[in-house]
Structure 1
Amino acid sequence: MNNFVWPIRVYYEDTDMGGRVYYANYLKFMERARTESLRDKGIEQIELKQQHNLIFVIRQVTIDYLKPAFFNDLLNVTVNVTKLGKASMTMTQQVLRESDILCQAVVKIAAVDVVSQRPKAIPLDMVKMLNI
């Protein structure tokens, strides 16, 4: 999944009292982009849960806020799978306004069994779809 890009418009509800995008909303933007990047590869998370008893949970996020975004900005959120383990993956993400990097993050994700809440191997067909 190399350099998937998801456009997002900043709405008034995304901003704080100072008119900037509220810091936690960057995480929401990134979550939406990760979901759409999987969907673009034919991976539906609801099907993973229903057919494989598998969900993805965030294990760690390291994030750098570099520049603010503001109401009505059109942003692009990128997603790159940089590491794929048996029951985990690491994605790097950026939020950009044109070519300006506003925010960047490294997101570590664990694949977990719905019932036991223990790590579970990512299905082989999905690994092939991610093909990093």
Structure 2
Amino acid sequence: MFTHQIKFRVLYSDTDKMGYMYYGQYAKYLEMGRVEAMRSLNLSYKSMEESGVMMPVLNLNVKYIKPLFYDDEVTLVTKVFKMPDTRIHFQYDLLNPRGELSTIAETTLVFVDCESGKPCLIPSNFKTKIEPYFS
């Protein structure tokens, strides 16, 4: 299993009239978790796209358990439980400043050949870097 963790602070612009982090903002933070998890493996969307592979989101599921508020420092844990093939499945835990589980989420992304627009296997450099976490 591959796991990566970051912290971020809820911005004022990300909250609604009730002072809660607006539900529509969660996808942005999940992407940040994915991007930083990939970066920790020396991978990036930019380099993948330059090599001819995109990773569009196929599915997004979010379960809100406890609200997050303006200026909360949030711990975002990003996990990959299964070795990717043509898809990669990320799971996320968002913890509030007290360490309580606030939100759980999942995204599934598909490796897509930029030229054909069709699904493809995980790029070899990505596979090489993530495979040790599953052996």
Displacement of 1:34:
0.4
CA contact (8 A) 1:54 1:113 kept: yes
Q: Counterparts of 2:40 and 2:84 in 1: how far apart (Å)?
A: 21
Residue 101 (structure 1) shift: 0.9
User: What amino acid is the match of 2:63?
Assistant: D
Q: Secondary structure at the match of 2:109?
A: strand
Distance in 2 between residues matched to 1:103 and 1:6, nearest whole Å: 15
TM-score of the two chains, using structure 2 as the length reference: 0.91
Q: Hey, what does 2:91 align to over in structure 1?
A: 92
Shift of residue 2, structure 1, vs aligned partner: 2.6
The 5 Å alignment of 1:1-132 reads 2-51=2-51, 53-97=52-96, 98-131=98-131, 132=133
Give the percent of matched residue pairs that are identical in Structure 1 and Structure 2: 24
| Amino acid paired to 1:71 | Y
Q: Would the aligned equivalents of 1:83 and 1:91 in 2 still touch at CA under 8 Å?
A: no
CA offset at residue 54 of structure 1?
A: 0.3
Q: Aligned partner of 1:54: which letter?
A: V
Secondary structure of the residue aligned to 1:16 is: coil
Q: Choose 110-119 or 14-23, whichever is displaced more.
A: 110-119
Secondary structure at the aligned position of 1:89 is classed as: strand
Per the normalisation by structure 1, the TM-score is 0.93
Which structure features the higher share of strand residues? 1
Deviations 1:37-73 (A, max 9, x none): 000100011111112x101111111210101000100
- Structure 2 unpaired stretches of 5+: none
**Which 4+ runs in 1 deviate beyond 4 A?**
none
RMSD over aligned Cα, in angstroms? Answer: 1.3
Distance 1:13 1:85 in 2: 35
